[in-house]
Amino acid sequence: MRIIFATGNAGKMREIREIMADMDMEICSMKEAGISLDIEENGTTFEENAQIKAKAVAACTKDIVLADDSGLEVDYLNKEPGVYSARYAGEPCNDRKNLELVLEKMEGIKDRTACFVCVLALVTPSGELTARGEVAGELKCAHQGEGGFGYDPIFYIPQYKCTFAQMMQEQKNQLSHRAIAARLLAGKCARL
Ligand code: IMP
C-alpha cells in the first residue's frame, strides 16, 4: 500500500517514516509523488489544518494521503504558538527564529509547562480519520542538544531528564506526540 505524506517538513517526514517503518506501507513524500502544492493552512485548530492539508493533496491523487499538523502549546503564553508554530516569528518559516521568539517571551518566567500536539489526518477512498497525540514537558531557558528539529532543543521531558533534541531519535519516536497520534490512527483504521 502506498501513502503520500502531505508535508514539506523534512523533520516530520523522517520521523513519520521511522514511526511507521514496521507497517507494511510505502510512505512517499509529495515530491516523490510529483505533487507540488502551496496549501494555505487557514484553520484555527490542529484538526482543521491537518484535514485541509490531507484533502488538498488527496484532490491530486488516488493514493491514500496522510497529513500532520502539529505544534507547541505553552501554558504561560495562552497555548501559543499553537497552530502558528511553524510561522511564529513570521514568514518565511524559520525554526531557529521561532524558537528564539519563544525563549524571549519566556525570559524570567517560572511557569514553563508546555505541550507538543500532533494531529494526523488520513484521507482514503473509503473515508477519513484523524487522531491526536500530546506530550507534556517544560521549556528550558536555552538550547540543549543537537537532534530533532523545530522546538526540540528547548522541550524538556522531566521523566527522561533531557530535551527531545538530546534524546535518541528512536526514543523520541516511541513517546512523541507524533508517535502517539500514529498509534491511535493505526488503531482507528479498522473502522474504515
Ligand atoms: P505545521 O504542522 O507544518 O504547521 O508546523 C508544525 C511546526 O511545529 C514545525 O514547524 C515545528 O516548528 C513545530 N513542531 C511540530 N512537531 C515538532 C516536533 O516533533 N519537534 C519540534 N518541533 C515540532
CA nearest ligand 1 atom 10, residue? 86
Q: Which residue has the higher pLDDT, 24 or 7?
A: 7
- Give the pLDDT of residue 118: 98
- Give the pLDDT of residue 86: 97
For the chain, give the DSSP string. Answer: -EEEE----HHHHHHHHHHTTTSS-EEEETTTTT---------SSHHHHHHHHHHHHHTT-SSEEEEEEEEEEEGGGTTEEGGGGGGTT-SS--HHHHHHHHHHHTTT-S--EEEEEEEEEEEETTEEEEEEEEEEEEE-SS---S-SSTTGGGEEEGGGTEETTTS-HHHHHHHSHHHHHHHHHHHHGGG-
Q: Catalytic pick from 22, 38, 68, 69?
A: 69
Ligand 1 shell residues, CB under 6 Å: 9, 41, 68-72, 85-86, 95, 98, 116, 148-152, 164, 176, 178
- How far apart, in whole angstroms, are the C-alpha atoms of residue 133 and residue 117? 6
CA 118 – ligand 1 centroid, Å: 8
Percent residues over pLDDT 70 in the chain: 100
Pocket test for ligand 1, best of 84, 151, 157, 164 (most atoms within 8 A of CB): 151
The x, y and z cell numbers of residue 126, run together, are: 473509503
Binning pLDDT at 50, 70 and 90, where does residue 35 land?
A: very high
CA 71 – ligand 1 centroid, Å: 5
Active site residue 38: no
Each residue's pLDDT tens digit, 126-167: 999 999 999 999 999 999 999 999 999 999 999 999 999 999
CA 116 – ligand 1 centroid, Å: 8
